[in-house]
Amino acid sequence: MSVALLFPGQGSQTVGMGRALSEVSPAARRTFEEADEALGFKLSAIINDGPADDLKRTAVTQPAIVTVSVACLRALQEAGVDGGVLAASFAAGHSLGEYAALVAAGALEFNDAVRAVRARGTFMQEAVPEGQGAMAAVLGLDADSIRAVVADVSSDDAYVACANFNGPEQTVIGGSVKGVETATAALKARGAKRVMPLPVSAPFHCALMAPVQPRLSDVLGGVTVSPFRFPVVTNVEALPNSDVDRVRQLLVQQVTAPVRFTEMATFLLAAGVTRFVEVGPGKALIGMVKRTPGFSADSMKLLNVEDPASLQATVAALAN
């Protein structure tokens, strides 16, 4: 049995996420407390009680998701499958989820990771004034066609790029409002089934995020990176990394590079992973794995940990 731990990114947040697990798991509860201490404000209160408008602010969402993901990871370890987690073959995360993956692999300390994504989210909010950027999910059109359309319509005054490759027929684009609108019309004309605007505060994973990179690099310069227990498949390369000297560089590059999750899942399948465990709020990533060519429901299991019931089910599945 080969296990990959998957950690979700922005968009998976909900008010109350992780609350039920923290009520039954001392390790999860301590994680919320550690986040509050590391950040100097009650992040746990916003996660538990909202309001939703505060939670969806990028500078809050990012540390909130990492906190809940690490709380779920620690609850899994506490439940008696610590050996199974430490024996994981790989970890991977979607965008900011890569920070939680690095915590799971032992490369980053949780306190450093939660502070880094708080800064990352703040810098992203400030990089593009609200209302000037946009993102949209393109459904029912292959990635190569989307790349071609986006490259054809993007211009200096209507910039747009591919931001997330989430599946064979789901790609997210991002850029200026005008760029995304122009691309939307062109993609529909090319045959896209739907192009859905996303409720985000900034256009992530494209060149408009370039101002974030030097600021984030400064923050990561003060973070200690430790030896990996197992490799992390990175967003930038869709390949495993366990070189401590490359972690900061890859996290900085990630800000403007597209999330190559389809290729990441393809690598994990080819590497022989048979158990995919999404650790944190939601089931978006295991849904993406299920739609990846090469996935077999007969020989593989998709698991998740976000509440007591899913924890119990995953512990039982990993024991078999």
Q: Which residues contact 184 (CB under 8 A, 6 or more apart)?
A: 136, 195
The closest of 79, 120, 82 to 98, measured between CA atoms, is 120
**Backbone φ, ψ for residue 232 (5° rounding):** -115, 125
Question: What radius of gyration do the chain's Cα atoms show?
Answer: 19
CA atoms within 13 A on the CB side of 145: 17
- Is residue 71 within 8 Å of residue 28, measured between CB atoms? yes
- Is residue 48 within 8 Å of residue 17, measured between CB atoms? no
CA 50, CA 99: separation in Å to the nearest integer? Answer: 23
The closest of 192, 206, 312 to 255, measured between CA atoms, is 206
Is the Cα torsion angle 278, 47, 122, 129 positive or negative in sign? positive
- DSSP 3-state assignment of 231? coil
- Is residue 6 within 8 Å of residue 286, measured between CB atoms? yes
Q: Which residues contact 218 (CB under 8 A, 6 or more apart)?
A: none
CA 289, CA 281: separation in Å to the nearest integer? Answer: 16
CA 205, CA 188: separation in Å to the nearest integer? Answer: 22
CA 97, CA 264: separation in Å to the nearest integer? Answer: 13
- Is residue 305 within 8 Å of residue 311, measured between CB atoms? yes
Cα-to-chain-centroid distance, residue 216: 17
Tell me which H or E stretch contains 161. strand 160-167
Catalytic center residues: 95, 205
